[in-house]
Amino acid sequence: MLIEPIQLGSLRLATNLLLAPIAGYCDLAFRLVARSCGGVGLACTDLLCPEGVLRENYRSMILAMTTPDDSPLCMQLYGANTERLCEAARWAEDRGAHVIDLNMGCPVDKVTKKDGGSRLLCDVESTMKLIERLRATIKRVPFTCKMRLGWDDTCIVAPQLARRLEEAGVELVTIHGRTTEMKFSGKARLDGIAEVVAAVKTIPVIGNGDIKSPQDALHMMRVTGCRG
């Protein structure tokens, strides 16, 4: 079955079809158009910079803009500064986020050069300390993470990291089936997504990458066992 609900703590998503945070596209207007088509269980903002939202600069406020019809909404943060990420998470909770997600998958240089995005996959121990602080900070909404398989083929960390994220209290993991080195080339590796699914005990794993049709989504779910 393609469409099934997902429970995240007290939040019940009507479907397991999640709108990815597509950088440069996923503003409020885009999200509302997607929701109008039906079937969106959860939509996500574009990547939000902690400094930007805390200073409430114009661009960040446009990216974080929402309305009552834009629900449920995930706000996705990125970066590596633990203190500022925690402050931004509190900001997001106070401004209507139903879910807060940490981006651990962006391969873009301007993000990774500042130790954010998929650079967090390169030092699992430091990343887990950051995760634990965020988990302790986020009190009222589910906390989730999105990541890639690893930095490159010598650094495939997603299965072990997903297991540790679950143990730390992360309530859902989204896995893009590519490494950072691949960026958006080649094909998303379904076997890599399946390994992440096998590594966790109970939390939902959402597969990501190359979903261009309902048939693609169904194929990924059947092959990997991912929940959505």
H-only helix segments in the chain: 28-36, 50-55, 58-64, 82-94, 109-112, 124-137, 158-167, 190-199, 214-224
* Residue 106 is a catalytic residue: yes
**Tens digits of pLDDT across the chain (228 residues):** 688 999 999 999 999 999 999 888 999 999 999 999 999 999 999 999 999 999 999 999 999 999 999 999 999 999 999 999 999 999 999 999 999 999 999 999 999 999 999 999 999 999 999 999 999 999 999 999 999 999 999 999 999 999 999 999 999 999 999 999 999 999 999 999 999 999 999 999 999 999 999 999 999 999 999 999
Cα separation, 130 vs 85, whole angstroms: 9
Q: What does the alpha-carbon distance between residue 74 and residue 64 come to, in Å, rounded to a whole number?
A: 10
What are residue 44's DSSP bridge partners? Answer: 74
**What are φ and ψ of residue 6, in 5° steps?**
-130, 135
pLDDT in tens, 96-149: 999 999 999 999 999 999 999 999 999 999 999 999 999 999 999 999 999 999
CATH code of domain 13-222: 3.20.20.70
Q: CA–CA separation, 159 vs 150, rounded Å? A: 10
Q: Could you tell me how far CA 8 lies from the centroid of its own chain?
A: 14
Return the ∠ at Cα 29 (arms to 28 and 32), rounded to 5°: 85
User: What are 61's two structure tokens?
Assistant: 């406020």
pTM: 0.96
Domain ranges of the chain: 13-222
Catalytic hit among 44, 49, 106, 226: 106
